[in-house]
Structure 1
Amino acid sequence: MRMNEGVEWALHSCVNLCFIPGETVTAKRLAAFYELPTAYLNKQLQALGRAGILSSTSGPKGGFELARSPERITVLDVVTAIDGPEEAFRCTEILKAGPGADQKADYRKTCLVSMTMRKAELTYRRELAGTTIADLVGQVEQTHPETAVNTRNWFANLTS
């Protein structure tokens, strides 16, 4: 399974927005933090906005901020906003083309390959749903205590 690189960018942007609460930040400033292409990051941020994860404000003091508390935004919310809700594994029921196949069978439910892949995806989705942006922020602050201050200072000193 391969996620869109926008998932990584979106997750980091959400975490960074937690370090500068109460401020809106433009896509250009968020992109500059990691030297990302602004237009592409902006698409990811807009997707987060459509999903109700971020809110945006227009105008000279405009930008993006979290639309709800980081405790109420899961990693799965962000992944789904960027990559969509579709399942990673799509059973096409190739067993129906095999010798001795039962054309009336629903192999999506009885195929051992399909069942294994669905079980793995359920585990993956549960893990992502069980981790919030607040959890990530807490882990970052515990592992790298200087990050929050450094991030705030970087954005405060950015002139463009």
Structure 2
Amino acid sequence: MASDKHIVEQDSGETDDGALVGSQGGVSLYGVSVEYGLHVLLWLLSERPKRASSRDLAEMQGVPPASLAKIMPKLERAGIVVSRDGIAGGYELSRAASDITVLDVVDAIEGDRKLFDCKDVRRGCVLFGGSPPPWSIHGVCRIHAVMMRAEKRMRAELAKTNLAELAQGRPAKFEDSVANWFSEKRAERELARLSGMKAGRRPQQ
């Protein structure tokens, strides 16, 4: 577990104004880390596995292990997951999936990322001569106000959906396949551990 948390990889670029550039070259408010985080959390919803390592989660979803190793500690600090050490260790949800919203995950990964950063440009009109008239700066900038309303609605929408709802529709047979896959991974690690212990006890030639 500990080694997972110290791998670093750059998975998205950032423009001069703070917007994120995705792998397809488009600019988005939220980076690919949010997509990775939401997808891998859905594997922790069932009782089997109740807990999974960062590496296994990354392999299951087909995302870079190094990227996920940065994401999971953020989710842990936000109280969305907890980690356990040991051969049977890994990450697990800290509370019911129905109590974890998409907004919770977004904020945990991206932090306080605003939709719009108003610089109060309205004061800079050359005709004002450095002294903007009261009518031009009265109250909140109208452009900023529009952006704040949009951000409020966006956050409200993200808060409407929880992890349990995102996972709806997965067939029971598929859930069994998921459980078996994680069980096999855990068994492989245990076998490797035991083999290593036996090799270490072999007498010197």
TM-score range for the pair, normalised by the shorter chain length:
0.7 to 0.9
Q: Provide the TM-score with structure 1 as the length reference.
A: 0.85
Alpha-carbon offset, residue 12 of structure 1: 0.8
Greater share of helix residues, 1 or 2? 1
- Show CA shifts across 1:42-95 (max 9, x none): 110110000000000112211000011111111000000000023221111111
User: Which of these residues, 150, 156, 181, is aligned with residue 120 of structure 1?
Assistant: 150
Q: 2:92 aligns to what SS in structure 1?
A: strand
C-alpha change, 1:122 and 1:156, in structure 2 (3 Å) is same
Q: 2:63 aligns to what SS in structure 1?
A: coil
Alpha-carbon offset, residue 113 of structure 1: 1.6
Q: Is contact 1:73-1:133 (8 Å) kept?
A: yes
Answer yes or no: is 1:134 the counterpart of 2:168. no
* Identity in percent: 31
Q: Is contact 1:96-1:103 (8 Å) kept?
A: no
Aligned to 2:43: 16
Aligned to 1:37: 64
- Show CA shifts across 1:6-35 (max 9, x none): 111111111111034562100010010122
Distance (whole Å) between structure 2 residues aligned to residue 7 and residue 75 of structure 1: 9
Q: Is contact 2:101-2:162 (8 Å) kept?
A: yes
Aligned to 2:100: 73
User: Which of these residues, 34, 39, 45, is aligned with residue 7 of structure 1?
Assistant: 34
Equivalent residue letter for 2:58:
A
Stretch moving more, 45-54 or 148-157: 148-157
Stretch moving more, 65-74 or 33-42: 33-42
Answer yes or no: is 1:48 the counterpart of 2:75. yes
Q: Is contact 2:52-2:90 (8 Å) kept?
A: yes
Alpha-carbon offset, residue 146 of structure 1: 5.0
C-alpha change, 1:148 and 1:72, in structure 2 (3 Å) is same
C-alpha change, 1:96 and 1:41, in structure 2 (3 Å) is same
Answer yes or no: is 1:85 the counterpart of 2:112. yes
**How many residues end up aligned between the 2 structures?**
156
User: Which sections of structure 2, spanning at least 5 residues, go unmatched?
Assistant: 1-27, 190-205
Q: Is contact 2:40-2:61 (8 Å) kept?
A: no
Distance (whole Å) between structure 2 residues aligned to residue 22 and residue 34 of structure 1: 14
Distance (whole Å) between structure 1 residues aligned to residue 49 and residue 61 of structure 2: 21
Stretch moving more, 10-19 or 46-55: 10-19
User: Which sections of structure 1, spanning at least 5 residues, go unmatched?
Assistant: none
Aligned to 1:57: 84
